[in-house]
Structure formats: C-alpha cells, structure tokens
C-alpha cells in the first residue's frame, strides 16, 4: 500500500513557484499538513499554507540549524526547498549529511544549474549543442550579438541584448553582478520550456512552446517535435538520478539550443500539472514509495493559460513584528 505524505514543508513559500507546489500537494493529498517557510514573513503564504515559519536567508549561518529545528519540531515527511540560494546551500556536503528529508535534485545538478557559465560548460562536456557562452569580462566584439545576464540567480533582472562594440564596453564597465554573455538566438521559431524528470531508470519529458507575460510564461502549448525530443533525451541521459529540471531553449537553423537549465521545479509546475505532466506529485510519490511515474503521452496543441489569484491578509496591528 502506497504511503501518503502526512506533512510537507515548502520553503520560499511566499513565491509563485512554492505557491504552485503547495496547491498541487493540497489537491493531490488534501489530508497532508502543508507548512511553508520564508524569510520575508508569513504573508501571502498563509493564504495557502496551514502554518508559516520564519527562516533565515540561505547565506546566514543560522539557516541550516533553523531548518533542522523545524524538522525536529514537526517531523516532516519531506522538505521541498525552492529558492536557488537555498538549493545551493543545501547541496553542500554538510546539508546533504544533515539527515533532513530533502526533496531536491542531485547536488551536482544544482551546482551546475545555479551557475549559467557552468551550465554551458556542462552541456559542452557532454557534446550537447548550446549557444557559445562567455564570462562577460572576457567577451569581445567578434562574439556580437550577445545576450548578457547574471551568472547566478534567476528572474528577469539585469538582462541586456548587446549588438554594438560600444554597448559591450559600456556594460562590461557598469554591470553590477557577475554575468555571462551568451550568443544571441533570435526567437523567430519561438521559445520553449521543457520539463525533464529522471528517477531511477524512468525518464519523462514535456515540451511547451511558451509566450511570456511580464517575464513569466503566460500561456503555453504542448509540442511534440522529434528534434527537440532527441535533444532532451541527450540531456536526460547525461543527468544523474533523482532530477526534475527545466530546460529553456530556442532553435537555430533547425538545431535546439539550451540557454538555461533550471535545477528546480519551475514556475510552470502547475501549468504542466494541469496538462497531465505531474512531475511535482511524481517526485513526491517516488521519494515516499519508489513509485515509477506513469507514462506520459503528449497531446500536441493542448494549451494552458496562467491567470492570477488574490490573497487577503488581516490588518497589521501595532504589536505585529513579523508582517
């Protein structure tokens, strides 16, 4: 008889990815005690999670002890870390040896995916085509046009398309954070977000052609393309066991090219779930029961749309110290 989760902690609980993960868990296992944790306070997480817990930032020395304390107090079946800084910290040996019931990708995948330059090197080392990627300070005009983005982290921040020598020299002098400069791939053939799952000998994948809205996928359509499928299968073969990643790619001259691999569940988790690709639930099932994920057959042309939802919070009182 399969075991259902009794309690799960999701970190970064005030963010959109954690909100999607929490809603998936609540729908699939309504009896599961759903806890959230976030460094920014209990709202809006309390609109979904039964309990919210304060958690130091990942760079704080108190982060891992605080997580261990929460585990000792509540005995979670699983802890699902979501923010990339937390994943990077929890991929370190001390965290991996802490005994926490972490549901996350293999440490080497997290280390690779949190560093966009390391991602490009990893793809190259496995003979998987990818856009040429340089450290920003080493980029030169012969590489133009280039797309500049932070080397670490995620989100639509500090991005720039560089097409002239003058613009390249200027951004090399002014960019605030360590960055990479990647060969620019026009999106004339569209942009694709692809979820890959690998647990034991089982692999699953889905490809969505996406349209952005405010930096996030606003709508998407299922694609079943032989060239993309073969390309993703090469990535799956190179990944270690226990991985759920999100590959962002474009196509140049018929060749799929991955420009990012996100080493975590992505913001399209609920969109995929609605399409029948339930990778969040499958990972939980596998972690608890070693249950193989069901076979997924894509339905090309199926579409999914992202809408918003609103969460209300009570008024702040003068005694409130953690809003």
Q: What is the DSSP string of 109-125?
A: HHHHHTBHHHHHHHHHH
Out of 166, 183, 200, a domain closes at 183
What does each of the 323 residues of the chain score in pLDDT, given as a tens digit? 689 999 999 999 999 999 999 999 999 999 999 999 999 999 999 999 999 999 999 999 999 999 999 999 999 999 999 999 999 999 999 999 999 999 999 999 999 999 999 999 999 999 999 999 999 999 999 999 999 999 997 666 789 999 999 999 999 999 989 999 999 999 888 999 999 999 999 999 999 999 988 878 999 999 999 999 999 999 999 999 999 999 999 999 999 999 999 999 999 999 999 999 999 999 999 999 999 999 999 999 999 999 888 888 888 765 554 45
* CATH code of 150's domain: 3.30.1490
For residue 82, what are the domain limits?
7-104
Q: What is the CATH number of the domain that holds 254?
A: 3.30.470.20
In a domain, 140, yes or no: yes
Burial pattern 165-202, b for ≥16 Cβ within 10 A else e, equals eebbeebbeebeeebbbbbbbeeeeebbbbbbbbbeee
118 domain residue, yes or no: no
295 and 231 in a common domain: yes
Query: Which of 183, 211, 226 is the C-terminal boundary of a domain?
Result: 183
Q: Looking at the domain assignment, is residue 316 inside a domain? A: no
Residues 196 and 164 in one domain: no
38 and 95, same domain (yes or no): yes
* Confidence (pTM): 0.93
CA distance 139 to 79: 40
- 122 lies in some domain: no
Q: Is residue 315 assigned to a domain?
A: no
Structure tokens at 318: 């003068």
């Amino acid at each position: 008889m399969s075991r259902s989760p009794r309690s799960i902690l999701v970190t970064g609980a005030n963010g959109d990815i954690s909100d999607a993960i929490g809603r998936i868990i609540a729908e699939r296992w309504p009896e599961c005690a759903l806890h959230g944790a976030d460094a920014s306070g209990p709202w809006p997480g309390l609109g979904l999670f039964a309990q919210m817990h304060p958690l130091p930032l990942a760079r704080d020395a108190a982060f891992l002890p605080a997580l261990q304390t929460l585990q000792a107090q509540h005995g979670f079946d699983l802890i699902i870390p979501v923010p990339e800084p937390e994943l990077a910290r929890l991929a370190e040996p001390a965290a991996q040896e802490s005994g926490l019931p972490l549901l996350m990708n293999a440490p080497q995948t997290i280390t690779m995916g949190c560093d966009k330059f390391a991602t490009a090197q990893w793809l190259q080392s496995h003979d998987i085509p990818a856009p040429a990627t340089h450290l920003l300070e080493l980029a030169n005009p012969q590489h133009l046009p280039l797309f500049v983005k932070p080397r670490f982290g995620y989100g639509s921040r500090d991005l720039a398309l560089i097409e002239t020598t003058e613009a390249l020299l200027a951004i090399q002098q002014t960019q605030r954070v360590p960055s990479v400069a990647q060969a620019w791939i026009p999106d004339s053939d569209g942009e694709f977000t692809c979820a890959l799952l690998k647990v034991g000998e089982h692999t699953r994948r889905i490809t969505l052609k996406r349209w952005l809205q405010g930096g996030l996928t606003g709508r998407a359509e299922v694609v079943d393309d032989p060239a993309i499928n073969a390309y993703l299968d090469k990535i799956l073969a190179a990944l270690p066991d226990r991985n759920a990643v999100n590959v962002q790619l474009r196509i140049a001259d018929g060749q799929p090219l991955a420009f990012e691999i996100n080493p975590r569940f992505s913001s399209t988790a609920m969109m995929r779930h609605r399409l029948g690709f339930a990778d969040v639930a499958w990972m939980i099932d596998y972690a608890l029961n070693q249950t193989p994920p069901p076979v997924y057959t894509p339905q090309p042309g199926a579409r999914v749309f992202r809408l918003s939802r609103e969460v209300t919070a009570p008024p702040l009182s003068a005694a409130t110290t953690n809003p």
